[in-house]
């Protein structure tokens, strides 16, 4: 059953809790963790001291872009990282207990293929923790419809300082609540928890009130099809232990 939580849910705490539970279920065996989207500045989902206590090995992958390389190289929570074409970056099959997909799907092409490769790298019974920007939200609509030159021009004035970007805004269909739910259903992956909240960078910047007004206008003129009430979708997904899942 999918557990849909209110926008105020603290997703980082939920992810950290799920990782601890996964470690406990494996009777203390070392966790192998893959972070897809390691080049983007993001709050760590690992609690203080958890990495040392779990004895985890954390691998990061992301697209090859200068701004992403700069951030990935500065991270202290990665044992190894690789940047490149995510359709070809090495991901060994059945090698990871937890895969964290961190605001990656909305900014890459062939997103389903990339997700397939990561799901294939997940061990049976493993967890995929996904955060994505919802293309079907008012904020996601504005982000994907704005021309690249306009996004580059407005970026520094609209987002908090030190925010990595602007990153590509591709937003293929899988980068939405309905899209990722359909993907998991077709691949035999089980969504155990489903959250929504607002977290877009421009909604936390110096012109947040203007961004909120624009989002509400998009919501209104779309007849509610592009809601302003959230822009982030977060899911806890489990790969079944049995062999009936399409991705083994």
Q: What is the pLDDT of residue 25?
A: 80
Q: Where are the alpha helices (DSSP H) in 111-176?
A: 111-120, 138-145, 148-158
Q: What is the pLDDT of residue 1?
A: 37
Q: In the CATH scheme, what is the code of domain 3-133+174-199+231-238?
A: 3.40.50.150
Flag residues of the chain having pLDDT under 70.
Answer: 1-12, 28, 41-54, 242-248
Asked whether the whole model's pTM tops 0.85, one would answer yes
Q: What are the pLDDT digits (tens) for 1-28?
A: 344 444 444 556 788 888 888 888 877 6
Look at residues 57, 58, 82 and name the one whose alpha carbon lies nearest to residue 72.
82
Look at residues 143, 211, 216 and name the one whose alpha carbon lies nearest to residue 175.
143
Name the residue ranges covered by the structural domains of the chain.
3-133+174-199+231-238
Q: What is the pLDDT of residue 7?
A: 40
């Amino acid at each position: 059953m999918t557990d849909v939580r209110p926008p105020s849910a603290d997703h980082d705490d939920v992810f950290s809790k799920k990782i601890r539970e996964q470690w406990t279920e494996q009777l203390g065996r070392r966790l192998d963790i893959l972070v897809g989207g390691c080049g983007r500045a993001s709050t760590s989902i690992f609690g203080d001291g958890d990495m040392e206590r779990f004895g985890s090995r954390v691998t990061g992958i992301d697209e090859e872009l200068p701004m992403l390389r700069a951030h990935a190289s500065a991270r202290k929570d990665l044992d190894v990282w690789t940047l490149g074409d995510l359709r070809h970056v090495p991901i060994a099959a059945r090698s990871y207990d937890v895969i964290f997909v961190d605001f990656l799907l909305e900014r890459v092409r062939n997103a389903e293929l990339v997700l397939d490769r990561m799901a294939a790298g997940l061990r049976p019974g493993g967890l995929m923790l996904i955060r994505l920007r919802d293309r079907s939200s008012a904020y996601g609509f504005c982000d994907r419809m704005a021309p690249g030159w306009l996004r580059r021009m407005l970026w520094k004035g609209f987002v908090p300082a030190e925010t990595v970007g602007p990153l590509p805004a591709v937003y293929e269909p899988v980068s939405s609540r309905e899209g990722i739910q359909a993907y998991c259903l077709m691949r035999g992956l089980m969504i155990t928890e489903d959250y929504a909240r607002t977290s877009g960078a421009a909604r936390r910047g110096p012109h947040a009130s203007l961004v909120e007004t624009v989002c509400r206008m998009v919501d209104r003129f779309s007849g509610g099809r592009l809601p302003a009430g959230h822009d982030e979708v977060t899911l806890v997904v489990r790969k079944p232990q049995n062999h009936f899942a399409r991705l083994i």
